[in-house]
Amino acid sequence: MAFQDAKAVVRAHHASIGQADASTIGAALAAHTSADWHWRGMHPFYEQHGAAAVADSFWQPFLTAMSSVQRREDIFFAGENGPSHAPGVWVVSMGHLMGLLDKPFLCIPATRKLTMLRYAEFNRVKDGKIVETAMFFDLIHMMHQAGLRPLPPQTAQHLIQPGPRTHDGLLNDAQDKAEGQKTLRLIEKMIGDIAANSNSVENAAPRDATPQDELRRCWTDDMCWWGPDGIGATFTIDRYIEQHQRPFRTQNAEREFFGHKARLAEGNYGGFFGWANLSVLPLGGYLGLPAGPRAEMRVVDIYRREGDKLAENWIFIDILHFLKQQGLDVIARIEATAG
C-alpha cells in the first residue's frame, strides 16, 4: 500500500496546483509538501527549498503567463528507489502542462495560442508529504511553439510528443510487484550495455560489434525515442543510431557517468533522473555548435517495457544548462535580441 498512499499524496498535490492561480499557488504547494521541501528545476530555476521559493521562482511566473492551465498526464507510476543515496518511495508523473500563452514567460513572447510545456516530475513522498521533487521541462520546445529558433536545426524530429502507444501509462491502481522488478532489471541491463560499449570503461574495446547489436539486446526494432527539443524524436533502431546515438557518441568525448538520484519502476514503466547524470567534452558539431569546455548533463529517462524489451523512451535533458556551461545563455541571448 505504500505506493498507493504515495500516489494519493501526489494526486492531491496536483489537484491543489490545478485549482490555484498565481496569487494562491504558494499556499497550494505548501499543502502537500514538507517545510524543507527540496525542489530541483531546470535552467534558469535550479534548486529551491520550501513552497514559497518554488512558487516565486517557477509557478507564479508560469501561471501569470499561462491562463486556463490543464495537466495533460500520459504516465503516472510509483516505485521504491534503487540507488541507496535517496531511499524511499518516489512517484513519477509525465505529460504536458497545456494552456494559453497570454503573457511572456521568461524570454518567450506571448502568442495568445494554445501552448504545451512538456514535463516530467519525480516526487519522493515520506510521512504523507512530498519532501523532494525533480521537475524537468522542455523550455526549448515551448520556445519553438512561439516561433523562436534558439538552436541550429536538430538531427531528429520536432513535434508535440504523444504518450504511450498502448495508452496504459496511468498506473492508478496497484500493480504486480514482479512486473515492476522485471522492468527495473531490464533498465539496469540496458544501462550496463551502454557502459560495456563506452570508451570510458577502462579503455576496453566495445563488447558489441555494431550499435545495432548493442541496442537489440534490450530494445524492440521499432523503438520510439522521444528526445528533447534540440535533438528531437526518432523511430526504429537504425534511425535512432543515425539521428541521435552516432552524433552524441562521435561529437562528445570523455564521457563520465555519475549515476542517478532516483531509479524506479512499476508495472511496465520505469525511469530515472540524475543531478547530473554525466559530463562530456563537446568536440564540435553536437547540437550544431562549436567545441566547448566539459559540461554536465542533467537527464530524465522514462521507459515502457513490452515483453522482454524496451519499446518507448521519453527523454528530458536540461540542454539550456548544458549550453550555459559552455558560455551560451540562450535565454539571455533571446532577451537581449528582443530588447
Confidence check: pLDDT of 164 > 80: yes
- Say if residue 102 is in the same domain as residue 195: no
| Rounded CA separation 163/304 (Å) | 10
Q: What is the CATH number of the domain that holds 304?
A: 3.10.450.50
- Does 255 score more than 80 pLDDT? yes
pTM: 0.95
139 and 185 together in one domain:
no
11 and 64 inside one domain: yes
Cβ-proximal residues to 228 (8 Å cutoff; 6+ apart), any chain: 138, 140, 141, 315, 316, 317, 319
Q: Domain for residue 168, yes or no?
A: no
Q: Average pLDDT, stretch 106-125?
A: 98
Give the three cell numbers for residue 50.
520550501
Answer yes or no: is 169 within a domain.
no
Tell me, yes or no, whether 75 lies in a domain. yes
Query: Other C-beta atoms within 10 Å of 116: how many?
Result: 19
CA dist 314 and 120 (Å) reads: 9
Same domain, 186 and 321: yes
| Separation between Cα atoms, residue 228 and residue 243, nearest integer Å | 13
Question: How much is the average pLDDT of 296-311?
Answer: 98
Residue 324 within a domain: yes
- Across the chain, mean pLDDT equals 94
**Inside any domain, residue 151:** no
Q: pLDDT tier at 207 (50, 70, 90 boundaries)?
A: confident
Structural domain contains residue 270 = yes
Give the mean pLDDT of 257-276.
96
Whether residue 317 is predicted with pLDDT greater than 70 in this model: the reply is yes
201 and 242 belong to one structural domain: yes
Q: Which of 18, 153, 4, 14 is nearest to 99 (CA)?
A: 18
Residue 163 lies in a domain: no
Per-residue pLDDT at 339: 67
In a domain, 282, yes or no: yes
Q: Which domain holds residue 228?
A: 177-338
Looking at the fold, whether 108 and 187 belong to one and the same domain comes out as no
- The Cα 186–Cα 193 span in angstroms is 11
| Burial of 160 from C-beta contacts in 10 A (0-12 / 13-18 / 19+) | exposed
Question: Structurally, how many domains does the chain consist of?
Answer: 2
Looking at the structure, do residues 185 and 332 belong to the same domain, yes or no?
A: yes
Residue-level pLDDT at 194:
85
pLDDT at 85: 59
